[in-house]
Structure 1
Amino acid sequence: MHHPQLLSYLRLYAQTFDLFKHIYFQTTVVSVRQRPDFPVSGQWEVETERREGQREIQVFDAVMVCTGHFTQPHLPLNDFPGIEEFEGRYFHSWEYLSAEGLQGKRVVVVGIGNSGGDIAVDASRVAEQVYLSTRKGAWVVSRVGPGGLPGDLVGTSRLDRLVQKLFPSWITMMMEKKLNRTFDHRLYGLQPKHRFFAQIPVLNDDLPGRIISGRVLVKPNIREIKGSSVVFEDGSVVEKVDVVVFATGYNYDFPFLPSGLLTNGGHRLCLYRHVFPPGLARPSLAVVGFICNLGAINPLAEMQARWATQVFKEAMLQDVKRDTSTLQNRFACLERHPLQVDHIPYMDSMAEELGVRPNLLGLLLREPGVGLRVLLGPCTPYQYRLRGPGQWDGARQAILTQWERVAQPFRTRMSPQPESRTRASSSLILTLSGTVLLTTFYTRHSLSSLPTGLLYKIYSLPEIIWGWK
Structure 2
Amino acid sequence: MSLASAELPDTPSKGATVLVIGAGPAGLAAARALGARGLRYDHVERYADIGGLWDIARTDGPLYSSAHFNSSRTLSAYNDFPFDDTLPDYPRHDQVLDYLRAFAARHDLVDRIRFGVSVESIEKASDGTWTAAFDDSTSASYSAVVCSSGSQWTANMPDIPGRFTGDVRHAMTYRDPAELRGKRVLVVGAGASGCDIATDAAHHGDGAAISMRRGYWFIPKHVLGVPADVFGSSGPHLPIWLQQRVFPLLLRFLQGDLTRLGLQKPDHKIFEVHPTVNSTVVHHLQHGDLTAYPAIASASGRTVSFVDGRSAEFDLILCATGYRHTIDYAQKYFGNQQHPDLYLSTFSRVHHNLFGVGFVETNSSAFPLFDTMAQMVAGYLDDQVRRPAEARKMADLIRTDRPDLSGGIRFDAAPRHVGYVDSAPLHAYLDRLMHSMGWGSEAHRHAPR
TM-score, scaled relative to structure 2: 0.71
- Alpha-carbon distance, 1:339 to partner: 4.3
Conserved? CA contact 1:250–1:336, under 8 Å: no
User: Which amino acid letter does the alignment assign opposite residue 390 of structure 1?
Assistant: A
The match for 2:230 among 153, 165, 183 is 153
Tell me, in whole angstroms, the C-alpha distance in 2 between the residues paired with 1:71 and 1:252.
8
Distance in 2 separating the partners of 1:258 and 1:121:
36
Residue 24 of structure 1 aligns to which amino acid in structure 2? Answer: R
Total equivalences in the alignment: 344
Aligned to 1:296, which of 365, 374, 380? 365
Say which of 75, 84, 93 aligns to 1:3.
93
Q: Deviations over 1:349-405 (max 9, x none)?
A: 122222289xxxxxxxxxxxxxxxxxxxxxxxxxx99x623267xx8xxx9xx9xxx
Code of the residue aligned with 1:254 in structure 2: it is I
The correspondence of residues 319-398 of structure 1 with structure 2, limited to 5 A, is 319-320=401-402, 323=404, 330-355=410-435, 388-390=441-443
- CA distance in structure 1 between the aligned counterparts of 2:417 and 2:178, rounded to whole angstroms: 30
Partner of 2:131: 45
Inter-CA distance 128–202: structure 2 relative to 1 (3 Å threshold) = same
CA distance in structure 1 between the aligned counterparts of 2:104 and 2:253, rounded to whole angstroms: 44
State the SS of the aligned residue for 1:100. Answer: helix
Residue 364 (structure 1) aligns with? none
Whole-Å Cα distance in 1 between the matches of residues 236 and 322 of structure 2? 30
Q: Residues 258 and 340 of structure 1: is their aligned pair in 2 closer, same or farther, counting only changes over 3 Å?
A: closer
Give the 3-state SS of the residue equivalent to 2:221 in structure 1: coil
Q: Structure 1 residues 213 and 262 mapped into 2: Cα distance closer, same or farther (>3 Å)? A: same
Contact 2:271 2:409 in 1 (8 A): no
**Which residue pairs with 1:82 in the alignment?**
162
1:10/1:234 Cα in 2 relative to 1: closer, same or farther (>3 Å)?
A: same
Give CA deviations for 1:6-41 in whole Å, capped at 9, x if unaligned.
110000111111111111222211111223321xxx
CA distance in 1, matches of 2:378, 2:97: 25
Cα 1:141–1:356 change in 2 (3 A) is farther
207-216 vs 250-259, greater mean Cα deviation: 250-259
Looking at both structures, which has the greater relative contact order when contacts are Cα pairs under 8 Å and sequence separation is at least 6? 2
Contact 1:30/1:47 (CA < 8 Å) preserved in 2? yes
Counterpart position of 1:227: 301
Which whole-Å CA distance do the structure 2 matches of 1:69 and 1:169 have between them? Answer: 31
Distance in 1 of aligned mates of 2:334 and 2:275? 28
In 1, distance between residues paired with 2:232 and 2:304?
41
**What is the DSSP-based 3-state SS (H/G/I as helix, E as strand, rest coil) of the residue aligned with 1:10?**
helix
* Bigger CA radius of gyration: 1
User: SS where residue 169 of structure 2 aligns?
Assistant: strand
Match of 2:183 among 99, 105, 125: 105
The match for 2:117 is 27
**1:216 equivalent in alignment to 2:290:** yes
Q: CA deviation at 1:228?
A: 1.0
Instruction: Tell me if structure 1 keeps the 8 A contact 2:121–2:134.
Output: yes
Deviations 1:67-117 (A, max 9, x none): 23222101122xx2224xx22111001111111131131111111122111
> Does 1:286 pair with 2:355?
yes
Match of 1:91, SS state, is strand
Matched, 1:114 2:188: no
- Cα distance between partner residues in 2 of 1:105 and 1:287: 41
CA RMSD of the aligned region, Å?
Answer: 2.6
- The 8 Å contact of residues 354 and 389 in structure 1, kept in 2 or not, is answered as no
* Structure 1 residues 160 and 67: alpha-carbon distance in aligned structure 2, compared to 1, 3 A threshold: farther
User: What runs of 5+ residues in structure 1 fail to find an aligned partner?
Assistant: 358-383, 403-461, 463-469
User: Is 1:16 paired with 2:16?
Assistant: no
Measured against aligned partners, the alpha-carbon deviations of 1:290-347 in whole angstroms (never above 9, x if no partner) come to: 1122221111111111011223311434423x549x5896311321332421213212
Q: For residues 327 and 152 of structure 1, what CA distance do their matches in structure 2 show?
A: 17
Aligned partners of 2:267 and 2:236: how far apart in 1? 25
Note the C-alpha offset of 1:144. 1.7
Aligned to 1:367: none
Moved over 6 A (4+): none
The alignment status of 1:249 with 2:318, answered yes or no, reads no
- 1:205 is displaced (CA, Å) by 1.8
CA contact (8 A) 2:187 2:319 kept: yes
Secondary structure of the corresponding residue to residue 114 of structure 2: coil
Gaps of 5+ in 2: 1-90, 381-390
Distance 1:128 1:252 in 2: 34
The match for 2:250 among 172, 175, 178 is 178
> Which residue in the other structure is 2:346 paired with?
275
2:145 aligned residue? 63
What amino acid is aligned across from residue 216 of structure 1 in structure 2?
L
For residues 8 and 75 of structure 1, what CA distance do their matches in structure 2 show?
31
The percent of aligned pairs where both chains have the same amino acid is 26
Instruction: Indicate the residue corresponding to 2:76 in structure 1.
Output: none
- Select the structure that is richer in helix: 1
Supply the distance in 2 between the matched residues of 1:70 and 1:328 (Cα, whole angstroms): 28
